[in-house]
Amino acid sequence: MKFLTLPTALLTSILLVACNQNQAPSNAGNANTATTQTTETQPAETNTQVAPDPSLPTYTALTDVPYPPFEFKAEDGTVTGMEIEIFNAIAKDQGFNVQYAPHAWEGIFKSLNDNEPQFVISTVTMTDEAKENALLSEPYYFSPYRVVALDQTKLDTWNTLKVGISASEDSADDLPDRFNVSTGNIKSYPTVFFALSGMIRGEVDVVVADSTVLLYTMNGDAAKDFKDKFVSKTLDATDSSKLVFAIDKGHPELLEKVNAGLKKLKESGELDAILAKYGQTDASTHIAQ
């Protein structure tokens, strides 16, 4: 089956929603490298999901907002998102408060080492840069690249077809290097949502993006008319697919707390419940592939 065209009214609606919902996802997918207009750490309110307890210690976490579903600002201005909810649950279990300070991805580890923040909670993956500059928690999730199409047969030969990507991810470099995709077959869009819209219009055959972001977008209300038509699979993963929390090297005791709290979340099922809330229901992304 092919769904190469859309009625004008529906296409206009999709693009309007895209403009409203995806104005500036700034981080990269598998290795966070993009920058935002925020250039330095600014004070931030403690997220309302974890009410501050004055009897408990309060720590600061740097985060590059927005990058839905991982982190974004709620209507009341507080930082929320899938990753934030997970870390808030860990903080609650381990007995500390967290305040989130916005910071551009560029230079975020330097600020972690030079200033007062104790954490980077910003879609950190297990890269050499992260290992060199911070203590890294156990992975809380795996998010390899995912390929999506409107035709099941295209999944088998996707790397020979026209591929849509998001300019906010590293796929322009990764796809030729890791999956032998011709650079001439790659078409870049501002966001994952715009790439999906391009595929629906027939501009590209498939879309490849960070699995977490792609599943979130595919399952969102803006794409509801095509939710049952999408077919997808995850691609081979590397260490850069392992999502972790970064802790200042001067606080190994906080690493122990984070890992202990994360273990409890996994055992209790609370982690899976948070992931499912953000459309992450594919068990294959829980393991390294």
Are 217 and 249 within one domain? Answer: no
Q: What is the pLDDT of residue 37?
A: 35
| Cβ atoms 165, 195 nearer than 8 A | yes
**Residue 103 falls inside a structural domain:** yes
* Averaged confidence pLDDT in the chain: 83
Domain annotation covers residue 190: yes
In this structure, the answer to whether residues 159 and 269 fall within a common structural domain is no
Domain presence at residue 13: no
pLDDT for the residue 88: 97
Residue 88, domain CATH: 3.40.190.10
In 3-state terms, what secondary structure has residue 186? strand
pLDDT above 90 (res 33): no
Residues 74 and 217 in one domain: no
Q: For residues 268 and 137, state if they share a domain.
A: yes
- Shared domain check, 190 and 74: no
Q: Report the number of distinct structural domains present in the chain.
A: 2
Q: Is the domain of 107 the same as that of 154?
A: no
pLDDT in tens, 116-165: 899 999 999 999 999 999 999 999 999 999 999 999 999 999 999 999 99
d(CA 54, CA 90): 18
Which structural domain range is residue 171 located in?
Answer: 145-236
Q: Could you tell me which residue, 224 or 58, shows the higher pLDDT?
A: 58
Claim to verify: residue 226 and residue 259 sit in the same structural domain: no
More confident residue, 14 or 249: 249
Q: What is the pLDDT of residue 221?
A: 86
Instruction: Give pLDDT tens digits for 85-120.
Output: 999 999 999 999 999 999 999 999 999 998 789 999
In a domain, 179, yes or no: yes
Q: What is the mean pLDDT of residues 53-64?
A: 95
75, with CB counted inside 10 A (0-12, 13-18, 19+), is exposed
Question: Do 212 and 272 reside in the same domain of the chain?
Answer: no
Query: What pLDDT sits at residue 176?
Result: 97
Helix axes 192-200, 8-21, angle to 10 degrees: 170
Given this model, what pLDDT does residue 286 score? 65
pLDDT of residue 45: 43
Q: Is 256 inside any structural domain?
A: yes
Predicted local confidence at residue 285, as pLDDT: 66
Report the C-alpha gap between 141 and 243 in whole angstroms: 5
- What's residue 16's pLDDT? 35
Instruction: Tell me if residue 189 falls in helix, strand or coil.
Output: strand
Both structure tokens of 89: 């649950």
In a domain? residue 49: no
Report the number of secondary-structure helices (H) and strands (E) in the chain: 9, 13
Length of the chain: 289
| Res 9: pLDDT | 36
| Position 10 in a domain | no
Q: Answer yes or no: do 184 and 163 share one domain.
A: yes
Report yes or no: 65 and 121 within 8 Å, Cβ to Cβ. Answer: no
pLDDT at 240: 85
**Distance in angstroms (rounded) separating the CA atoms of residues 61 and 43:** 11
Mark whether 117 and 244 lie in a shared domain.
yes
On whether both 68 and 202 belong to a single domain, the answer is no
Based on the fold, state whether residues 197 and 130 are members of the same structural domain. no
Q: 132-141, 185-194, 220-229: lowest mean pLDDT where? A: 220-229
The DSSP result for 37-76, as a single string, is S--S----PBPTTS---TTS-EEEEEE---BTTTBEE-TT
115 is a domain residue: yes
